[in-house]
A and B are shown apart, each in its own frame.
Chain A
């Protein structure tokens, strides 16, 4: 009886010892709004629509991302480019590009489907809304600003200078 009680007392002390040992360890918690955990290189966050170095939009409005999307989150409407008003190289550009962030499952399949590497899942992940309508990210919100020193789109260009919609690229690895 006494032996049993003594055994239990030792067990409790042993357990407390384990807990007490952790008091002196460095906490693993991250103080989130002030501190951030480093991102993994392959992290999939909010989408961004990329531009070429010359400032033209990479998106050509082909809507392959919308077709590939398992969650039907993407809506694309294409419009013809003219040399007076040029957004992207080639014939067409995306007039409307909307992603419903409530539907998006961040699988990255749009990224895989894109022929011009225009849509990329970037590192931004703080997505919260107070209205369902705010969840729809429009083209203006997704498109990155043009590189420094480059003019914004639409722009007037020399006829015949941007005929090819898909640039010459290496095979994806």
Chain B
């Protein structure tokens, strides 16, 4: 950290903080109320999922990798499944691809609705928070009726999808979309005209087009700064090849633009789902994939609700991947928070942070353990032993039957 001047003060927020939903640490230097410097430290919610994939089969990993994110879980499964299908050289039936798209877009709707609520809550607009989360339940119920789960749908299998859409489902979806569209028009009007809310968003956290490109912002955050960055358009995958997306961009780059872009994206999702449901291809919903995946490497990009999601899968010819690397969208946008916070009031920082739709436990992908004896790292066994001893010291009853 920079040497502190006398009039400067550093506000430490986190890693454990009542206002943070997930652990992360922010060191915010302030001069009075104005932020002069911000430092972010990540890695408090590291779960070792990438390592865990190396001891599970491809099919088991499908379920595990869905658990990386509780909001955009389907898209993680899709990225992994499509990467493995590319390695295996399998062609997925068109109906399966269409169902994947529908679930992905429903998930985008629920993610954006959730974000709208969180964003409004950070701005002190709790009425909007309650209303948008109430309407989000419509999508959650749809997803529950399609897959059986509200989150972590496990809709993907290697070579297709697990669930078919019945005529009843299609009717329910179309009915729900009509309701949501009407509500979304109302929300768009609220976030673009409500005077007190605009005071919290207009001109706050402005990121220019140049900044967005330099900082490598992705997803709706970049699109709100006029950068056309959307994997569904740059490199269409699955059913997006036949059903192109119209990207919504905004040149203003401030929080208001981010609200507007995300809400307008909801309309695009509604249109897309209706279009796909209109001519849902008939046929199988899955095709057979061999248990052992041929040797090779595959990289796959998909557009998660928060931006580009990247998967790298390396296979050594067995039924267990030798490496899976995940890069989630939040990590790319996190630098912009640190940059944009400077010059704003301290009270605007939560809004700016919420503006990128952060997901901390998704982006914690790597952790480095420093040992006193100077060696580089710990083996799996050593780490496990350390864990056992640690809990023994804390006099918690460790029982291999229960814990292991």
Give the interface of A toward B (CB within 8 A). Answer: 7-8, 11-12, 15, 18-19, 22, 28, 40-44, 68-71, 100, 105-109, 112, 121, 132-133, 135-136
Contact = CB atoms under 8 A, between A and B. Distances in A.
B63 A8 contact: no
Contact of B63 (A11, A18, A100, A105): A105
Contacts of B147: 42
Given A15-B127, A42-B145, A107 B195 contact: no
A70 B127 contact: no
DSSP class of B's interface residues: helix, strand, loop or mixed? helix
A106 B134 CA distance: 25
Contact of B137 (A22, A28, A68, A136): A28
Nearest to A132: B402
B63 A43 contact: no
Contacts of B366: none
Contacts of A11: 193-196
B148 A15 contact: no
A40 B144 contact: yes
- Closest 8 A/B residue pairs (Cβ): A42-B148, A70-B60, A11-B195, A70-B63, A107-B63, A40-B145, A40-B144, A44-B148
Contacts, number: 70
Interface residues of B, number: 32
A138 to B, nearest CB: 13
A105 B145 CA distance: 18
B146 interface: yes
A8 B145 contact: no
A70 B56 contact: yes
Nearest to A106: B149
Interface in B40-60: 56, 59-60
Contacts of A42: 144-148, 163
B404 to A, nearest CB: 9
Contacts of B399: 132-133
A107 B56 CA distance: 15
Contact of A41 (B67, B145, B149): B145
Contact of B59 (A19, A22, A41, A68): A68
B361 interface: no
Contacts of B195: 7-8, 11
B402 A15 contact: no
Nearest to B157: A112
Contacts of B61: 70
A69 B152 CA distance: 15
B154 interface: yes
A73 to B, nearest CB: 11
Contacts of B131: 22
Interface string B124-148: 0001000100100100010011111
A71 B190 CA distance: 44
Given A15-B127, A70-B60, A70-B61, A105 B152 contact: yes
A18 B152 contact: no
Given A8-B196, A121-B148, A135-B402, 12 more contacts: A11-B193, A11-B195, A40-B144, A42-B145, A43-B148, A70-B60, A70-B61, A70-B64, A105-B67, A106-B152, A109-B59, A132-B399
